[in-house]
Chain A
Amino acid sequence: MIVAEQKSLDEIKGLVGDAENVLVVGCGTCVTVCFAGGEKEADIIASSLRMSSKLEGHPQNVRSVTVQRQCEWEYLDQIETEINEADLVLSLGCGIGVQAIAEHYPESWVVPGLNTTFLGIPEEQGVWAERCAACGDCILGLTGGICPIARCSKSLLNGPCGGSEQGHCEINPDVPCAWQLIYDRLNEKGKLHVLLDLQPPKDWSSSRDGGPRKIVRPDLRLLEEED
Protein backbone atom coordinates (compact mmCIF):
# COMPACT_ATOMS: atom_id res chain seq x y z
CA MET A 1 0.00 0.00 0.00
CA ILE A 2 0.92 3.61 -0.39
CA VAL A 3 1.91 5.05 2.97
CA ALA A 4 1.63 8.74 3.67
CA GLU A 5 1.55 11.03 6.64
CA GLN A 6 -0.18 14.32 7.27
CA LYS A 7 1.57 17.61 6.90
CA SER A 8 1.55 19.74 10.03
CA LEU A 9 -1.49 21.91 10.61
CA ASP A 10 0.73 24.98 10.23
CA GLU A 11 1.91 23.87 6.81
CA ILE A 12 -1.65 23.03 5.74
CA LYS A 13 -2.87 26.43 6.91
CA GLY A 14 -0.12 28.04 4.85
CA LEU A 15 -1.24 26.15 1.75
CA VAL A 16 -4.92 26.91 2.34
CA GLY A 17 -4.22 30.60 2.93
CA ASP A 18 -7.32 32.73 3.24
CA ALA A 19 -9.56 30.78 0.86
CA GLU A 20 -13.14 31.32 1.96
CA ASN A 21 -14.65 27.99 0.92
CA VAL A 22 -12.39 25.01 1.39
CA LEU A 23 -13.22 21.43 0.51
CA VAL A 24 -11.20 18.74 2.27
CA VAL A 25 -11.26 15.54 0.23
CA GLY A 26 -10.39 12.28 1.94
CA CYS A 27 -9.60 8.98 0.29
CA GLY A 28 -11.01 5.63 1.35
CA THR A 29 -8.17 3.39 0.27
CA CYS A 30 -4.44 3.48 1.15
CA VAL A 31 -4.43 6.65 3.24
CA THR A 32 -7.37 5.37 5.26
CA VAL A 33 -5.41 2.27 6.17
CA CYS A 34 -2.40 4.31 7.25
CA PHE A 35 -4.66 6.75 9.13
CA ALA A 36 -3.43 9.78 7.25
CA GLY A 37 -6.25 10.86 4.96
CA GLY A 38 -9.39 8.84 5.44
CA GLU A 39 -12.87 10.04 6.36
CA LYS A 40 -11.98 10.56 10.02
CA GLU A 41 -8.80 12.42 9.23
CA ALA A 42 -10.61 14.60 6.71
CA ASP A 43 -13.26 15.50 9.29
CA ILE A 44 -10.59 16.27 11.88
CA ILE A 45 -8.61 18.50 9.51
CA ALA A 46 -11.79 20.31 8.46
CA SER A 47 -12.75 20.90 12.09
CA SER A 48 -9.21 22.03 12.92
CA LEU A 49 -9.22 24.53 10.05
CA ARG A 50 -12.64 25.90 11.00
CA MET A 51 -11.63 26.31 14.62
CA SER A 52 -8.19 27.80 14.04
CA SER A 53 -9.43 30.19 11.36
CA LYS A 54 -12.17 31.41 13.67
CA LEU A 55 -9.65 31.86 16.48
CA GLU A 56 -7.50 33.94 14.16
CA GLY A 57 -10.38 36.20 13.29
CA HIS A 58 -11.10 35.12 9.69
CA PRO A 59 -13.54 32.21 9.85
CA GLN A 60 -13.35 29.90 6.86
CA ASN A 61 -16.10 27.69 5.55
CA VAL A 62 -14.50 24.25 5.48
CA ARG A 63 -16.35 21.08 4.61
CA SER A 64 -15.14 17.57 4.11
CA VAL A 65 -16.05 14.74 1.79
CA THR A 66 -14.44 11.37 1.18
CA VAL A 67 -14.41 9.25 -1.94
CA GLN A 68 -13.57 5.58 -2.23
CA ARG A 69 -10.43 6.30 -4.26
CA GLN A 70 -9.15 9.63 -5.53
CA CYS A 71 -7.12 8.00 -8.29
CA GLU A 72 -10.07 6.98 -10.45
CA TRP A 73 -12.15 9.39 -12.53
CA GLU A 74 -15.44 7.63 -11.80
CA TYR A 75 -15.09 8.22 -8.08
CA LEU A 76 -14.08 11.83 -8.59
CA ASP A 77 -17.17 12.38 -10.77
CA GLN A 78 -19.27 11.89 -7.63
CA ILE A 79 -17.96 15.06 -5.98
CA GLU A 80 -18.24 17.42 -8.93
CA THR A 81 -20.77 19.67 -7.17
CA GLU A 82 -18.68 20.00 -4.03
CA ILE A 83 -15.52 20.71 -6.02
CA ASN A 84 -17.23 23.43 -8.04
CA GLU A 85 -18.54 25.12 -4.92
CA ALA A 86 -15.10 25.34 -3.33
CA ASP A 87 -12.48 28.07 -3.79
CA LEU A 88 -9.74 25.64 -2.84
CA VAL A 89 -9.50 21.88 -2.55
CA LEU A 90 -7.32 20.32 0.13
CA SER A 91 -6.70 16.75 -0.92
CA LEU A 92 -5.81 14.21 1.72
CA GLY A 93 -5.07 11.65 -0.95
CA CYS A 94 -1.62 10.47 -1.89
CA GLY A 95 0.26 12.42 -4.55
CA ILE A 96 -1.65 10.50 -7.20
CA GLY A 97 -4.99 11.57 -5.77
CA VAL A 98 -3.98 15.22 -5.57
CA GLN A 99 -2.93 15.18 -9.21
CA ALA A 100 -6.01 13.27 -10.29
CA ILE A 101 -8.29 15.90 -8.78
CA ALA A 102 -6.26 18.68 -10.38
CA GLU A 103 -6.37 16.94 -13.75
CA HIS A 104 -10.06 16.04 -13.59
CA TYR A 105 -11.08 19.48 -12.38
CA PRO A 106 -8.59 21.85 -14.04
CA GLU A 107 -10.61 24.91 -12.93
CA SER A 108 -10.02 24.08 -9.27
CA TRP A 109 -6.95 24.87 -7.18
CA VAL A 110 -5.79 21.75 -5.36
CA VAL A 111 -3.25 21.57 -2.56
CA PRO A 112 -1.87 18.48 -0.77
CA GLY A 113 -2.48 17.77 2.88
CA LEU A 114 -0.20 14.75 2.99
CA ASN A 115 3.39 13.84 2.28
CA THR A 116 3.32 10.62 0.28
CA THR A 117 6.19 8.63 1.66
CA PHE A 118 6.66 5.07 0.46
CA LEU A 119 5.15 1.76 -0.61
CA GLY A 120 5.00 -0.36 2.47
CA ILE A 121 3.32 -2.68 4.90
CA PRO A 122 1.82 -2.28 8.36
CA GLU A 123 4.34 -4.37 10.32
CA GLU A 124 2.14 -4.07 13.37
CA GLN A 125 -0.72 -1.78 14.35
CA GLY A 126 0.60 1.77 14.15
CA VAL A 127 3.90 0.92 12.44
CA TRP A 128 4.43 1.06 8.68
CA ALA A 129 7.67 0.18 6.94
CA GLU A 130 8.93 0.45 3.37
CA ARG A 131 8.94 -2.73 1.34
CA CYS A 132 8.87 -1.89 -2.36
CA ALA A 133 10.65 0.64 -4.54
CA ALA A 134 8.53 0.06 -7.64
CA CYS A 135 11.66 -0.57 -9.66
CA GLY A 136 9.75 -2.27 -12.47
CA ASP A 137 11.93 -5.40 -12.53
CA CYS A 138 11.06 -7.56 -9.56
CA ILE A 139 13.76 -9.95 -8.34
CA LEU A 140 12.01 -11.21 -5.23
CA GLY A 141 12.21 -14.73 -6.64
CA LEU A 142 16.00 -14.57 -6.21
CA THR A 143 16.06 -13.23 -2.67
CA GLY A 144 13.59 -15.32 -0.77
CA GLY A 145 10.88 -12.67 -0.91
CA ILE A 146 12.95 -9.88 0.63
CA CYS A 147 13.59 -6.86 -1.57
CA PRO A 148 17.17 -5.56 -1.60
CA ILE A 149 16.20 -2.56 -3.74
CA ALA A 150 13.80 -1.18 -1.13
CA ARG A 151 15.24 -2.57 2.06
CA CYS A 152 18.99 -2.31 1.45
CA SER A 153 20.12 1.27 1.94
CA LYS A 154 22.43 0.92 -1.05
CA SER A 155 20.01 -1.22 -3.11
CA LEU A 156 22.78 -3.76 -3.57
CA LEU A 157 22.11 -6.81 -5.71
CA ASN A 158 24.96 -8.88 -4.29
CA GLY A 159 25.12 -7.79 -0.70
CA PRO A 160 25.87 -7.39 2.09
CA CYS A 161 28.34 -4.53 2.19
CA GLY A 162 31.04 -4.02 4.81
CA GLY A 163 28.68 -1.87 6.82
CA SER A 164 26.47 -4.75 7.87
CA GLU A 165 27.01 -5.24 11.57
CA GLN A 166 25.22 -7.71 13.84
CA GLY A 167 22.37 -7.85 11.34
CA HIS A 168 21.92 -4.08 11.23
CA CYS A 169 22.60 -1.48 8.62
CA GLU A 170 25.37 1.00 9.32
CA ILE A 171 23.07 3.95 8.64
CA ASN A 172 20.81 3.24 11.61
CA PRO A 173 20.85 0.48 14.22
CA ASP A 174 17.07 0.22 13.93
CA VAL A 175 17.32 -0.71 10.25
CA PRO A 176 17.90 -4.41 9.66
CA CYS A 177 20.48 -5.37 7.05
CA ALA A 178 18.36 -6.60 4.14
CA TRP A 179 21.08 -8.96 2.99
CA GLN A 180 21.32 -10.51 6.44
CA LEU A 181 17.58 -11.09 6.24
CA ILE A 182 17.93 -12.55 2.74
CA TYR A 183 20.79 -14.80 3.82
CA ASP A 184 18.86 -16.04 6.85
CA ARG A 185 15.71 -16.70 4.83
CA LEU A 186 17.52 -18.61 2.07
CA ASN A 187 19.52 -20.51 4.69
CA GLU A 188 16.32 -21.63 6.43
CA LYS A 189 14.98 -22.86 3.12
CA GLY A 190 18.22 -24.62 2.17
CA LYS A 191 18.60 -22.38 -0.88
CA LEU A 192 21.83 -20.54 -0.14
CA HIS A 193 23.19 -21.72 -3.48
CA VAL A 194 20.93 -19.12 -5.14
CA LEU A 195 23.32 -16.46 -3.88
CA LEU A 196 26.13 -18.03 -5.86
CA ASP A 197 24.56 -16.68 -9.05
CA LEU A 198 25.96 -13.18 -9.01
CA GLN A 199 23.56 -10.59 -10.36
CA PRO A 200 24.77 -8.20 -13.07
CA PRO A 201 24.40 -4.42 -12.59
CA LYS A 202 20.73 -3.54 -12.47
CA ASP A 203 19.08 -2.02 -15.48
CA TRP A 204 17.43 0.95 -13.85
CA SER A 205 15.65 2.07 -16.99
CA SER A 206 12.51 0.23 -15.84
CA SER A 207 12.53 2.26 -12.64
CA ARG A 208 11.84 5.96 -12.16
CA ASP A 209 15.36 6.52 -13.45
CA GLY A 210 14.08 5.80 -16.93
CA GLY A 211 11.60 8.66 -16.78
CA PRO A 212 7.85 8.77 -16.02
CA ARG A 213 6.33 5.35 -16.67
CA LYS A 214 3.16 4.24 -18.34
CA ILE A 215 1.58 0.87 -18.97
CA VAL A 216 -0.84 0.34 -21.86
CA ARG A 217 -2.96 -2.78 -22.20
CA PRO A 218 -4.52 -2.83 -25.66
CA ASP A 219 -6.73 -5.76 -24.67
CA LEU A 220 -8.36 -3.69 -21.96
CA ARG A 221 -8.79 -0.43 -23.78
CA LEU A 222 -12.29 0.58 -24.75
CA LEU A 223 -13.13 0.13 -28.40
CA GLU A 224 -14.05 3.35 -30.17
CA GLU A 225 -17.76 2.60 -30.33
CA GLU A 226 -17.85 1.94 -26.56
CA ASP A 227 -16.58 5.45 -25.67
Chain B
Amino acid sequence: MWLNMEIKNEFEPEITAFYCTYCGYMAADSAGAMNLPYPANVKFIRLPCTGKIDVRYILEAFEQGADSVYIVACPIGNCHHVSGNERGVARLKYAQKILEDIGFEKERLGIFFMSGSQAQTFAAAAQTMTERTRNLGPNPLREPSLNGGTTD
Protein backbone atom coordinates (compact mmCIF):
# COMPACT_ATOMS: atom_id res chain seq x y z
CA MET B 1 0.00 0.00 0.00
CA TRP B 2 1.50 3.24 -1.11
CA LEU B 3 1.11 6.41 0.86
CA ASN B 4 0.12 9.41 -1.23
CA MET B 5 2.54 12.09 -0.29
CA GLU B 6 2.58 15.59 -1.58
CA ILE B 7 5.50 17.65 -0.40
CA LYS B 8 4.81 21.34 -0.47
CA ASN B 9 7.88 23.48 -0.94
CA GLU B 10 7.08 26.43 1.27
CA PHE B 11 9.45 29.05 2.51
CA GLU B 12 10.01 28.67 6.24
CA PRO B 13 11.61 31.79 7.66
CA GLU B 14 14.74 31.59 9.77
CA ILE B 15 14.51 34.36 12.34
CA THR B 16 17.08 35.54 14.86
CA ALA B 17 15.81 37.33 17.95
CA PHE B 18 17.76 39.06 20.68
CA TYR B 19 16.18 39.30 24.09
CA CYS B 20 17.34 40.83 27.32
CA THR B 21 17.96 38.77 30.43
CA TYR B 22 15.19 40.54 32.32
CA CYS B 23 11.81 41.14 30.73
CA GLY B 24 12.64 39.45 27.44
CA TYR B 25 13.94 36.17 28.83
CA MET B 26 11.38 36.14 31.63
CA ALA B 27 8.56 36.50 29.09
CA ALA B 28 10.05 33.58 27.16
CA ASP B 29 10.23 31.58 30.36
CA SER B 30 6.62 32.45 31.19
CA ALA B 31 5.52 31.33 27.74
CA GLY B 32 7.33 28.06 28.27
CA ALA B 33 5.85 27.53 31.71
CA MET B 34 2.37 28.11 30.32
CA ASN B 35 3.03 25.77 27.38
CA LEU B 36 2.16 28.51 24.93
CA PRO B 37 3.10 27.45 21.40
CA TYR B 38 5.01 29.80 19.16
CA PRO B 39 6.78 29.22 15.86
CA ALA B 40 10.02 27.26 15.97
CA ASN B 41 11.28 29.58 13.24
CA VAL B 42 12.74 31.89 15.87
CA LYS B 43 16.15 31.28 17.40
CA PHE B 44 16.98 33.39 20.42
CA ILE B 45 20.15 35.01 21.61
CA ARG B 46 20.23 36.33 25.16
CA LEU B 47 21.87 39.62 26.01
CA PRO B 48 22.29 41.16 29.47
CA CYS B 49 20.24 44.13 28.26
CA THR B 50 18.94 45.33 24.89
CA GLY B 51 21.33 48.22 25.39
CA LYS B 52 24.02 45.70 24.46
CA ILE B 53 22.59 45.42 20.96
CA ASP B 54 25.32 46.20 18.48
CA VAL B 55 24.60 47.05 14.86
CA ARG B 56 27.25 44.46 14.00
CA TYR B 57 25.18 41.70 15.62
CA ILE B 58 22.20 42.61 13.49
CA LEU B 59 24.19 42.79 10.25
CA GLU B 60 25.97 39.55 11.05
CA ALA B 61 22.65 37.78 11.56
CA PHE B 62 21.49 38.89 8.12
CA GLU B 63 24.84 38.10 6.55
CA GLN B 64 24.67 34.60 7.97
CA GLY B 65 21.27 34.10 6.37
CA ALA B 66 18.62 35.22 8.87
CA ASP B 67 15.46 36.23 7.04
CA SER B 68 14.59 38.71 9.73
CA VAL B 69 15.78 39.87 13.11
CA TYR B 70 13.90 41.27 16.05
CA ILE B 71 14.54 42.45 19.56
CA VAL B 72 12.50 41.69 22.67
CA ALA B 73 12.96 44.43 25.22
CA CYS B 74 11.63 45.71 28.53
CA PRO B 75 8.93 48.37 28.16
CA ILE B 76 10.25 51.92 27.80
CA GLY B 77 10.61 53.34 31.27
CA ASN B 78 11.00 49.92 32.86
CA CYS B 79 14.41 48.84 31.70
CA HIS B 80 16.27 47.01 34.45
CA HIS B 81 19.31 49.09 33.50
CA VAL B 82 17.27 52.32 33.39
CA SER B 83 17.57 53.26 29.71
CA GLY B 84 19.28 50.39 27.95
CA ASN B 85 16.16 49.66 25.93
CA GLU B 86 16.16 53.26 24.65
CA ARG B 87 19.72 52.77 23.41
CA GLY B 88 18.57 49.54 21.80
CA VAL B 89 15.79 51.39 19.97
CA ALA B 90 18.21 54.07 18.78
CA ARG B 91 20.61 51.45 17.44
CA LEU B 92 17.77 49.56 15.78
CA LYS B 93 16.73 52.70 13.91
CA TYR B 94 20.34 53.24 12.85
CA ALA B 95 20.56 49.61 11.70
CA GLN B 96 17.31 49.99 9.74
CA LYS B 97 18.81 52.94 7.85
CA ILE B 98 21.92 50.88 7.04
CA LEU B 99 19.79 47.95 5.88
CA GLU B 100 17.82 50.24 3.57
CA ASP B 101 21.09 51.61 2.13
CA ILE B 102 22.25 48.05 1.51
CA GLY B 103 18.98 47.15 -0.21
CA PHE B 104 17.07 45.27 2.46
CA GLU B 105 13.52 45.99 3.53
CA LYS B 106 13.60 47.72 6.91
CA GLU B 107 10.55 45.62 7.93
CA ARG B 108 12.91 42.67 8.36
CA LEU B 109 14.09 44.29 11.58
CA GLY B 110 11.75 45.00 14.46
CA ILE B 111 11.41 45.42 18.20
CA PHE B 112 8.75 44.30 20.66
CA PHE B 113 8.35 45.57 24.21
CA MET B 114 6.92 43.42 26.97
CA SER B 115 7.26 42.72 30.65
CA GLY B 116 8.38 39.38 32.08
CA SER B 117 4.86 38.12 32.72
CA GLN B 118 3.53 38.82 29.23
CA ALA B 119 3.85 35.32 27.90
CA GLN B 120 1.04 35.79 25.36
CA THR B 121 2.76 38.88 23.98
CA PHE B 122 6.00 36.96 23.64
CA ALA B 123 4.30 34.20 21.64
CA ALA B 124 2.37 36.75 19.57
CA ALA B 125 5.58 38.61 18.73
CA ALA B 126 7.16 35.43 17.41
CA GLN B 127 4.03 34.67 15.41
CA THR B 128 3.78 38.20 14.03
CA MET B 129 7.39 38.30 12.93
CA THR B 130 7.19 34.86 11.36
CA GLU B 131 4.14 35.80 9.31
CA ARG B 132 5.64 39.14 8.33
CA THR B 133 8.80 37.40 7.18
CA ARG B 134 6.85 34.79 5.26
CA ASN B 135 5.22 37.63 3.33
CA LEU B 136 8.54 39.39 2.75
CA GLY B 137 10.19 36.26 1.46
CA PRO B 138 13.64 34.84 2.08
CA ASN B 139 16.72 36.85 2.86
CA PRO B 140 17.71 38.27 -0.54
CA LEU B 141 21.29 37.18 0.13
CA ARG B 142 20.45 33.52 -0.05
CA GLU B 143 18.63 31.31 -2.49
CA PRO B 144 15.30 30.00 -1.18
CA SER B 145 15.85 26.46 0.01
CA LEU B 146 13.54 23.47 -0.05
CA ASN B 147 13.23 23.52 3.72
CA GLY B 148 10.11 22.67 5.59
CA GLY B 149 7.30 21.06 3.70
CA THR B 150 4.19 19.21 4.60
CA THR B 151 2.78 15.88 3.61
CA ASP B 152 -0.82 15.17 2.83
Binding site for B on A (CB under 8 A): 8-10, 40, 43-44, 47-48, 50-52, 54-56
Q: Which 6 A-B pairs have the closest CB atoms?
A: A9-B101, A47-B59, A52-B102, A55-B103, A51-B102, A43-B56
Residues of A within 8 A of B60 (CB): 47
Cβ of B140 and Cβ of A55 under 8 Å apart?
yes
Residue interface mask B57-77, A partner, CB < 8 A = 1: 001101100000000000000
B7 at the interface (CB under 8 A from A): no
Chain B interface, DSSP helix/strand/loop, else mixed: helix
Q: A10-B101, A55-B102, A55-B141 are in contact. Are A48 and B56 (CB under 8 A)?
A: no
Q: A9-B101, A10-B101 are in contact. Are A51 and B62 (CB under 8 A)?
A: yes
The CA of A52 and the CA of B60, in the complex, are separated in Å by 13
Cβ of A44 and Cβ of B63 under 8 Å apart?
no
Q: CB-nearest residue of chain A relative to B103?
A: A55
B98 at the interface (CB under 8 A from A): yes
Closest Cβ–Cβ distance, residue B82 to chain A (whole Å)? 15
Closest Cβ–Cβ distance, residue B130 to chain A (whole Å)? 23
Residues of A within 8 A of B59 (CB): 44, 47-48, 51
Cβ of A54 and Cβ of B141 under 8 Å apart?
yes
Cβ of A48 and Cβ of B54 under 8 Å apart?
no
Q: When the two chains form the complex, which single residue of B63, B102, B140 contacts A9, counting CB atoms closer than 8 Å?
A: B102
Q: CB-nearest residue of chain B relative to A13?
A: B101
Residues of B within 8 A of A8 (CB): 101
Q: Which of B101-152 contact A (CB under 8 A)?
A: 101-104, 140-141
Closest Cβ–Cβ distance, residue B56 to chain A (whole Å)? 5
Closest Cβ–Cβ distance, residue B44 to chain A (whole Å)? 22
Cβ of B63 and Cβ of A51 under 8 Å apart?
yes
Residue of A10, A48, A50, A52 with most chain B CB atoms under a 10 A cut-off:
A48
Closest Cβ–Cβ distance, residue A36 to chain B (whole Å)? 13
The CA of A56 and the CA of B141, in the complex, are separated in Å by 10
Q: CB-nearest residue of chain B relative to A50?
A: B63
Residues of A within 8 A of B140 (CB): 55
Residues of A within 8 A of B55 (CB): 40, 44
Q: A51-B63, A55-B140 are in contact. Are A44 and B98 (CB under 8 A)?
A: yes
The CA of A15 and the CA of B59, in the complex, are separated in Å by 22
The CA of A65 and the CA of B60, in the complex, are separated in Å by 16
Residues of A within 8 A of B56 (CB): 40, 43-44, 47
Query: Can you give 30 A-B contacts (C-beta < 8 A)?
Result: A8-B101, A9-B98, A9-B102, A10-B101, A40-B54, A40-B55, A44-B56, A44-B59, A44-B98, A47-B56, A47-B63, A48-B59, A48-B98, A48-B101, A48-B102, A50-B63, A51-B59, A51-B62, A51-B63, A51-B102, A51-B103, A51-B141, A52-B101, A52-B102, A52-B103, A54-B141, A55-B102, A55-B103, A55-B140, A56-B103
The CA of A178 and the CA of B45, in the complex, are separated in Å by 50
